Chains A and B, each alone.
Chain A
Amino acid sequence: MKLSLIIGGCLSGMALLAALISLVWTPYDVTALDIAHKLQGPTAAHWLGTDHFGRDIASMLMTGARTSLAVALVAVTIGMGLGVPLGLWAAARRGSWLDEGIMRANDLIFAFPSLVIAILITATFGPSATNAIIAIGIFNIPVFARVTRAGALSLWQLDYIRAAQVAGKGRTRISGEHILPNIANLLIVQSTIQFSLGILAEAGLSYVGLGAQPPTPSWGRMLAEAQTMVTLAPHVAIMPGLAIVLTVLGLNLLGDGLRDALDPRLRGRLA
Chain B
Amino acid sequence: MRRYLFRRLIILLASLWVASGVIFLLVEGVPGDPASFMLGVNAAPDTLVALRAQMGLDQPFVWRYLHWLGGMFSGDFGTSFTYKVPVAGLIAARLAVSLPLAGIALCLSVALALPMGLIAAARRGRISDGAVMAGTQLGIAVPNFWFAMLLVLLLAVRWQFFPAGGFPGWSDPLAALRALTLPAIALALPQAAILTRVLRSALIETLGQDYIRTARAKGLSRARALTRHALRNALIPVLTILGLQFSFLLAGAIIIENVFYLPGLGRLIFQAITQRDLIVVESVVMVLVFAVIMVNFLTDLAYAAVDPRLRRRI
A200 interface residue per 8 A CB criterion = yes
Could you tell me if B15 and A252 are in contact, using CB atoms closer than 8 angstroms? no
Shortest distance in angstroms between A56's beta carbon and chain B's nearest beta carbon? 21
Report A-chain residues with C-beta under 8 Å of the C-beta of B15. 107-108, 111
- A97-129 interface mask toward B, CB cutoff 8 Å, 1 = contact, 0 = none? 000000010011001111111011101110000
Known contacts A223-B149, A241-B143, A248-B141; 11 further A-B pairs (Cβ under 8 A):
A108-B15, A108-B22, A111-B293, A120-B26, A203-B146, A207-B143, A227-B149, A237-B146, A241-B146, A245-B142, A249-B137
Could you tell me if B149 and A237 are in contact, using CB atoms closer than 8 angstroms? yes
Q: What 8 A-B pairs come out closest when comparing CB atoms?
A: A113-B251, A241-B146, A115-B251, A249-B141, A248-B141, A123-B273, A124-B30, A113-B247
Within 185-225 of A, Cβ neighbours of B (below 8 Å) are at 196, 200, 203-204, 207-208, 220, 223
Could you tell me if A207 and B273 are in contact, using CB atoms closer than 8 angstroms? no
Interface residues of A (CB under 8 A from B): 104, 107-108, 111-117, 119-121, 123-125, 196, 200, 203-204, 207-208, 220, 223, 226-227, 230-231, 234, 237-238, 240-241, 244-246, 248-249, 252-253, 269-271
Among A108, A113, A196, residue most surrounded by chain B Cβ atoms (within 10 Å): A113
Residue of A nearest to B249 (CB): A113
B145 interface residue per 8 A CB criterion = yes
Report B-chain residues with C-beta under 8 Å of the C-beta of A237. 146, 149-150, 153
27 contacts between A and B (CB under 8 A): A108-B15, A108-B19, A111-B19, A111-B289, A112-B289, A113-B248, A113-B250, A114-B251, A116-B251, A116-B269, A116-B288, A119-B270, A120-B23, A120-B27, A204-B143, A204-B145, A208-B255, A208-B270, A227-B259, A230-B157, A234-B153, A237-B146, A245-B138, A245-B146, A249-B141, A252-B140, A269-B204
Q: How far is the CA of A207 from the CA of B59 in the complex (A)?
A: 37
Q: How far is the CA of A203 from the CA of B259 in the complex (A)?
A: 14
Interface residues of B (CB under 8 A from A): 11, 14-15, 18-19, 22-23, 26-27, 30, 32, 133, 137-138, 140-143, 145-146, 149-150, 152-153, 157, 201, 204, 247-248, 250-252, 254-255, 258-259, 269-270, 273, 281, 285, 288-289, 292-293, 296
Q: How far is the CA of A104 from the CA of B314 in the complex (A)?
A: 12
Could you tell me if A270 and B143 are in contact, using CB atoms closer than 8 angstroms? no
Could you tell me if A104 and B11 are in contact, using CB atoms closer than 8 angstroms? yes
Residue of A nearest to B18 (CB): A108
Report B-chain residues with C-beta under 8 Å of the C-beta of A230. 149, 152-153, 157
Could you tell me if A223 and B141 are in contact, using CB atoms closer than 8 angstroms? no
Q: How far is the CA of A114 from the CA of B289 in the complex (A)?
A: 10
Report B-chain residues with C-beta under 8 Å of the C-beta of A227. 149, 259
Q: How far is the CA of A128 from the CA of B254 in the complex (A)?
A: 19
Among A120, A204, A249, A270, residue most surrounded by chain B Cβ atoms (within 10 Å): A120
Shortest distance in angstroms between A113's beta carbon and chain B's nearest beta carbon? 3
Report A-chain residues with C-beta under 8 Å of the C-beta of B273. 119-120, 123-124
Report A-chain residues with C-beta under 8 Å of the C-beta of B149. 223, 226-227, 230, 237, 241
